[in-house]
Structure 1
Amino acid sequence: MLTSLQVTNFAIVEHLDIEWQSGMTTITGETGAGKSIAIDALSLCLGERAEASMVREGADKAQVSAVFDIQNLPAAKHFINEHELGDNTECVIRRVVAANGRSKAFINGVMVPAGQLKTLGNLLISIHGQHAHQQLNKANYQLSVVDSFADHTELLNEVKTSYNQLQSLEREQKQLAQTLQQAAAEKQLLEYQVAELDEFALATGEYEEIEQQHTLLSNANSLLEGTQKELQIIYQQDNFNAYSMVQSSANQIAELASLDKKLAPIADLLFEASITLEEAARELSHYQDSVEMDPSQLSELDERISRALDLARKHDITPEELPNLHAELQQNLANIEQNDERFNELEAEIARAKEHYFACASVLSESRSAAAKALSEQVTKSLVSLSMENAKFAICIEHQESVTSSKGSDTVDFQVAANTGQRLQPLHKVASGGELSRISLAIEVIIADKMTTPTLIFDEVDVGISGPTASAVGKLLRQLGKSTQVICVTHLPQVASSGHNQFFVSKTDDGTQTNTRMTVLDNSGRIDEIARLLGGTNISDITRTNASELLSQYH
Structure 2
Amino acid sequence: MLAHLSISNFAVVKQLSIHLENGLTAITGETGAGKSIAIDALSLCLGERADANAVRKGTAKAEIIAHFSLCNNALAKAFLDEHELTSDEDENSCFVRRVISKEGRSKAFINGIPASLQQLKGLGQYLLAIHGQNTHLQLLKEEHQRQLVDSYAKHAPLLEEVGRAFAVWKDKQKTLKDLQAQAQQREDRLQLLTYQVQELDEFAIEEGEFEELEVEHKRLSNGQSLLEQAQRSVYNLYESDEGNALSVIQSSIERLGELEAHDAHLTPIISLLNDAAIQVEEAAGELRSYCDHLEIDPLRLQQVEARYAKAMELARKHTVMPEELFHHHQALTAEFNALGEQESLLGTLETEVEEVRKQYLHATTQLSESRCNAANKLASDIESQIRQMNMPHAKVNIDVLYDELKKPVSTGLDTIEFKVSTNPGQDADKLEKVVSGGELSRIGLAIQVIASDNHATPTMVFDEVDTGISGPTASIVGGLLRKLGKQAQVMCVTHLPQVAAQAHNQLFVTKVTDGESTETQMLALTKQDRIDELARLLAGDKVTKSALANAKELLKSAASN
Fold match (TM-score > 0.5): yes
**Paired residue type of 2:553:** E
The answer (yes or no) to whether the contact 1:128–1:444 under 8 Å persists in 2 is no
Counterpart secondary structure, 1:203: coil
For 1:118, the equivalent position in structure 2 comes to 121
Structure 1 residue 153: Cα displacement: 2.2
Q: Does 1:515 align with 2:519?
A: yes
How far, CA to CA, are the matches of 1:17 and 1:260 in structure 2?
125
For 1:244, the equivalent position in structure 2 comes to 247
Counterpart secondary structure, 2:15: strand
Deviations 1:142-196 (CA, angstroms, capped at 9, x unpaired): 1111112222223222222222222222233333434445444333323332222
Q: Does 1:525 align with 2:529?
A: yes
Identical amino acids, percent of aligned pairs: 48
Structure 1 residue 260: Cα displacement: 5.4
CA pair 2-314 structure 1, distance change in 2 beyond 3 A: same
How far, CA to CA, are the matches of 2:440 and 2:151 in structure 1?
19
For 1:40, the equivalent position in structure 2 comes to 40
Q: Does 1:434 align with 2:438?
A: yes
Deviations 1:471-516 (CA, angstroms, capped at 9, x unpaired): 1100111011111111111111111111000111112222222221
For 1:464, the equivalent position in structure 2 comes to 468
Counterpart secondary structure, 1:155: helix
Q: 1:188 aligns with which of 177, 184, 191?
A: 191
The answer (yes or no) to whether the contact 1:133–1:440 under 8 Å persists in 2 is yes
Counterpart secondary structure, 2:558: coil
User: How many residues get paired?
Assistant: 555
For 2:558, the equivalent position in structure 1 comes to 554
For 2:301, the equivalent position in structure 1 comes to 298
CA pair 164-265 structure 1, distance change in 2 beyond 3 A: closer
For 2:84, the equivalent position in structure 1 comes to 84
**Paired residue type of 1:123:** Y
For 2:499, the equivalent position in structure 1 comes to 495
How far, CA to CA, are the matches of 1:166 and 1:314 in structure 2?
45
**Paired residue type of 1:487:** M
Deviations 1:262-283 (CA, angstroms, capped at 9, x unpaired): 5444444333322221111100
Q: 2:333 aligns with which of 314, 330, 333?
A: 330
Counterpart secondary structure, 1:463: coil
How far, CA to CA, are the matches of 1:94 and 1:136 in structure 2?
32
For 2:100, the equivalent position in structure 1 comes to 97
CA pair 550-181 structure 1, distance change in 2 beyond 3 A: farther
**Paired residue type of 1:459:** D
**Paired residue type of 2:471:** G
The answer (yes or no) to whether the contact 1:251–1:267 under 8 Å persists in 2 is no
How far, CA to CA, are the matches of 1:268 and 1:435 in structure 2?
127
CA pair 49-349 structure 1, distance change in 2 beyond 3 A: farther
Higher mean displacement: 41-50 or 79-88: 79-88
The answer (yes or no) to whether the contact 2:167–2:410 under 8 Å persists in 1 is yes
Structure 1 residue 94: Cα displacement: 0.8
Counterpart secondary structure, 1:389: coil
How far, CA to CA, are the matches of 1:414 and 1:202 in structure 2?
76
Structure 1 residue 259: Cα displacement: 5.7
Structure 1 residue 417: Cα displacement: 1.4
For 2:21, the equivalent position in structure 1 comes to 21
Q: Does 1:233 align with 2:244?
A: no
Q: 1:406 aligns with which of 396, 402, 410?
A: 410
How far, CA to CA, are the matches of 1:104 and 1:179 in structure 2?
52
For 1:280, the equivalent position in structure 2 comes to 283
**Paired residue type of 2:516:** T
The answer (yes or no) to whether the contact 1:180–1:339 under 8 Å persists in 2 is no
Q: Does 1:540 align with 2:544?
A: yes
For 1:55, the equivalent position in structure 2 comes to 55
How far, CA to CA, are the matches of 1:182 and 1:17 in structure 2?
72
Counterpart secondary structure, 1:136: helix
CA pair 280-423 structure 1, distance change in 2 beyond 3 A: same
Structure 1 residue 533: Cα displacement: 1.4
Q: Does 1:66 align with 2:69?
A: no
Higher mean displacement: 180-189 or 72-81: 180-189
For 2:508, the equivalent position in structure 1 comes to 504
CA pair 172-278 structure 1, distance change in 2 beyond 3 A: same
For 1:3, the equivalent position in structure 2 comes to 3
Structure 1 residue 529: Cα displacement: 1.3
The answer (yes or no) to whether the contact 1:180–1:336 under 8 Å persists in 2 is no
For 1:365, the equivalent position in structure 2 comes to 368
Higher mean displacement: 545-554 or 349-358: 349-358
Structure 1 residue 115: Cα displacement: 0.5
How far, CA to CA, are the matches of 1:220 and 1:213 in structure 2?
10
CA pair 136-86 structure 1, distance change in 2 beyond 3 A: closer
How far, CA to CA, are the matches of 1:294 and 1:239 in structure 2?
34
Higher mean displacement: 470-479 or 78-87: 78-87
The answer (yes or no) to whether the contact 2:456–2:487 under 8 Å persists in 1 is no
Higher mean displacement: 181-190 or 375-384: 181-190
CA pair 344-13 structure 1, distance change in 2 beyond 3 A: farther
The answer (yes or no) to whether the contact 1:449–1:480 under 8 Å persists in 2 is no
Structure 1 residue 341: Cα displacement: 3.7
Q: Does 1:143 align with 2:146?
A: yes
How far, CA to CA, are the matches of 1:179 and 1:259 in structure 2?
96
**Paired residue type of 1:228:** Q
For 1:163, the equivalent position in structure 2 comes to 166
Counterpart secondary structure, 1:145: helix
In the TM superposition, what are the counterparts of 1:339-488 in structure 2 within 5 Å? Answer: 339-402=342-405, 404-488=408-492
For 1:75, the equivalent position in structure 2 comes to 75
CA pair 173-52 structure 1, distance change in 2 beyond 3 A: farther
Q: 1:255 aligns with which of 250, 255, 258?
A: 258
How far, CA to CA, are the matches of 1:242 and 1:248 in structure 2?
10
Q: Show structure 1 runs of 5+ residues with no match.
A: none
CA pair 2-192 structure 1, distance change in 2 beyond 3 A: same
Structure 1 residue 43: Cα displacement: 0.8
How far, CA to CA, are the matches of 2:352 and 2:232 in structure 1?
79
CA pair 102-261 structure 1, distance change in 2 beyond 3 A: closer
Deviations 1:277-319 (CA, angstroms, capped at 9, x unpaired): 1111100001112211111111111111111211222233321
Structure 1 residue 427: Cα displacement: 2.1
Higher mean displacement: 149-158 or 214-223: 149-158
Higher mean displacement: 39-48 or 421-430: 421-430
Deviations 1:11-38 (CA, angstroms, capped at 9, x unpaired): 1111110000000011111111121111
The answer (yes or no) to whether the contact 2:107–2:114 under 8 Å persists in 1 is yes
**Paired residue type of 2:427:** R
